[in-house]
Amino acid sequence: MNKDVEFIVENVKAHTEWFRNCLPMIASENLISPVAREMLISDFCDRYAEGHPGKRYYQGCIYVDKVELKCVELAKKLFKCSYADVRPISGTVANIGVFKALAKPGDTVTALNTAEGAHISHAKFGGAGVRGLNVVNYPFDSKNMNIDLDGAVKVIKEIKPRIALFGQSVYLFPTPLKEIADVAHDAGSSVVYDGAHVLGLIAGGKFQDPLREGADVVTASTHKTLPGPQGGIVLSDHKGDTEDDKKFLKRLDSGVFPGVVSNHHLHHMAAKAVAFAEHLEYGKEYADQIIRNAKALGQAMYELGFNVFCEHLGFTESHQIVVGVGDGMGRWAAEALEKADIIVNMNMIPGDTKPLNPSGLRIGVQELTRIGMKEKDMKDVAGLFKKVVIEKIKPENVASEVIELRKDFNKIHYCFKEDEAHKYYSITGL
C-alpha cells in the first residue's frame, strides 16, 4: 500500500475503535446489523441497474431483480402500504424526488422553519429551493415543541400550498396530522410526511401512523430509528384505482427515476431489504425500548439538574430529548462531551438566532438501545453528562468511565446473527 492508502485505512480503523468505545448519541445515526453489513460489501456494490426489476436498461440484473422485488414486498408489509420506492439514495433525495413529482417551480410548500426543527431539505436554501419552490413556514409552539395546530391550519387555508409538508429533525412529539390533513386536502394540497427520524418507531407501531392519519406520501431516511443502511424511501397507500390516482403514483415513480437517481446503489438496496425483514421480526420490541430509554434519560438528566425540555409532557415520545445548556453554550457542551467520548450535536432551541452558536443539545438513544442499554443504564449515562456539563470535570478524565460503561455493550441487538455482531463491529467490517 502507498502512504495515502495506509493513511486512509489507519484513520478508518482509529475511528472504528473510537466508536466501539464511546457513547454515540447523534439522533440520526444507528448501527446496521451484521447481515446488512455483509450486503454492503457484496458484489452488489459494484453493479448498475436503472428503472424497475424486469425492465432494466442494463444486463446482469437477474439476482438484483429478485432482491429488489423482495425489498419492495418487505417494505410494503413493514409500512402497511400499497406503494414503496426503495431507490432513493438518501432522505434528502427522496424529498427532492417527491417535490419534483408533486410540484412545479414557483409552487409553494408549507413547512416548519429549520430553526424550529425542520430539515434543511424543507428549506428554500436546501431541497425545496432546488425544485424552485417557495416555502411558507407554519408557526411553532415552543412550549410543547410541536407545530402550532391552529396556526398551521390558518396558514394552509390561506396559502393553499401545492404540498403541505410535515415532519422534523428535532422531533419529540407526534405531529397532529389527522387534524391538519383534511384541511390540507380541502385546500387542494398533497400531504407529505417526512418520517426520516421516526421511521423505525412508526414501523414498530409507535409515535404515529402517518399513512392512516391522512398523509398521501411518506418520505424517510432508512438509517435513523430504522436501523438500516444509509438511504431513503418513498411510501404511499394510494392504490392507483382511478385514472387520477394512477397518474399520481406515476408521477411519484418518475420523480425518483429518472428524477433524482439513475443507478440506485444496489448494495444499499439489498441491505435495506435485510433491515426491513429484521424490523418485521424485532421492530416492535426495539421501538418500545427506544422510547422507554429516551424517557428514562430525560427523567434522569432532569433529576440531576439539567434543563430537559417538556417535562410537563414526559420529555419525549420519540428517540430524542432536547436539553438547554445555557445561552450560546451548545457548542462548548458538545465539544466537551466529545472529549469525554460522548458524541452528541449542538442544536438550536426556541429563542436561538445564531445557528452556529446555539444553546441546546439534541440527544438520541436509538443506538445505545441497539447495543442493549435499558432504562437503568440511562441513569449512568445521565451521570456522565452531569460530570462533563454541570460539574465541568476535565472531560478526558470522564472518558475512562465511558469506556468502562461501554465494555458491557458490544453486541448489536434486535437483529439476526447477534452473536456475530462483534466481528462486523470491531474491525471495520472487513
| Phi/psi at 304 (5° precision) | -85, 0
- Identify the residue whose cell numbers are 438566532: 353
User: What does each C-alpha distance from 156 to 136, 185, 208, 382, 418 come to in angstroms?
Assistant: 9, 10, 21, 41, 47
161 is a contact residue toward ligand PLP (CB under 6 A): no
169 vs 318, beta carbon nearer ligand PLP:
169
One residue of 30, 33, 92, 190 binding ligand PLP per CB under 6 A: 92
362 vs 386, beta carbon nearer ligand PLP:
362
Q: Looking at 75-83, 104-112, 190-198, 312-320, which segment touches ligand PLP (CB under 6 A)?
A: 190-198
299 vs 366, beta carbon nearer ligand PLP:
366
- Quote the crossing angle between the two packed helices 330-339 and 395-406, to the nearest 10°: 60
Angstrom distance (rounded) from CA 376 to CA 58: 53
Minimum CB–partner distance for residue 257 and ligand PLP (Å): 17
Q: Are strands 232-236 and 83-85 parallel, antiparallel or unpaired?
A: antiparallel
121 vs 369, beta carbon nearer ligand PLP:
121
259 is a contact residue toward ligand PLP (CB under 6 A): no
DSSP letters for 380-405: HHHHHHIIIIIS---HHHHHHHHHHH
Minimum CB–partner distance for residue 221 and ligand PLP (Å): 3
33 vs 347, beta carbon nearer ligand PLP:
347
Angstrom distance (rounded) from CA 53 to CA 87: 12
Closest residue (Cβ) to ligand PLP?
91
78 vs 329, beta carbon nearer ligand PLP:
78
Angstrom distance (rounded) from CA 251 to CA 245: 10
- Quote the crossing angle between the two packed helices 266-303 and 375-385, to the nearest 10°: 70
One residue of 86, 164, 196, 266 binding ligand PLP per CB under 6 A: 196
One residue of 197, 267, 272, 370 binding ligand PLP per CB under 6 A: 197
Minimum CB–partner distance for residue 196 and ligand PLP (Å): 3
229 cis-preceded (ω within 30 degrees of 0):
no
Binding letters toward ligand PLP, positions 260-299, x by CB under 6 A:
----------------------------------------
Sign of CA dihedral 120, 125, 126, 128: positive
- Closest by CA to 342, choosing from 360, 365, 322, is 365
One residue of 34, 91, 227, 364 binding ligand PLP per CB under 6 A: 91
121 is a contact residue toward ligand PLP (CB under 6 A): yes
CB 140 within 8 A of CB 116: yes
Angstrom distance (rounded) from CA 246 to CA 253: 11
Binding letters toward ligand PLP, positions 20-59, x by CB under 6 A:
--------x-------------------------------
Q: Going edge to edge, which strands form the sheet with 190-194?
A: 83-85, 232-236, 217-221, 190-194, 163-166, 108-111, 134-137
194 is a contact residue toward ligand PLP (CB under 6 A): yes
One residue of 30, 90, 299, 320 binding ligand PLP per CB under 6 A: 90
Q: Looking at 11-19, 104-112, 166-174, 394-402, which segment touches ligand PLP (CB under 6 A)?
A: 166-174
116 vs 377, beta carbon nearer ligand PLP:
116
220 vs 388, beta carbon nearer ligand PLP:
220
Residues binding ligand PLP (CB under 6 A): 28, 90-92, 95, 119, 121, 167-169, 194, 196-197, 221, 232
